[in-house]
Amino acid sequence: MKDSDGNWRLPPPPYPCLETSESKMNLDDFICMDARVGYGEVYNLSDFVQHFGVK
């Protein structure tokens, strides 16, 4: 993280970035709203409310 002046609050860790031969970065897989990509499930509003709403 950076502070309000744009400086790093802590130095990066001494080990290399986590990556594989297939992927350098997979964050987009976790935030993608395409149900065929990544992990988890994508809900429309009514399904979301039905699944997570107060019962």
Per-residue pLDDT reduced to its tens digit, 9-50: 998 899 998 888 988 888 887 888 888 887 788 899 999 999
User: Phi and psi for 4 in degrees, rounded to 5?
Assistant: -65, -20
pLDDT of residue 26: 80
Q: What is the pLDDT of residue 47?
A: 93
pLDDT higher for 55 or 11? 11
Is residue 55 predicted with pLDDT exceeding 80?
no
pLDDT at 54 over 90: no
Per-residue pLDDT at 30? 80
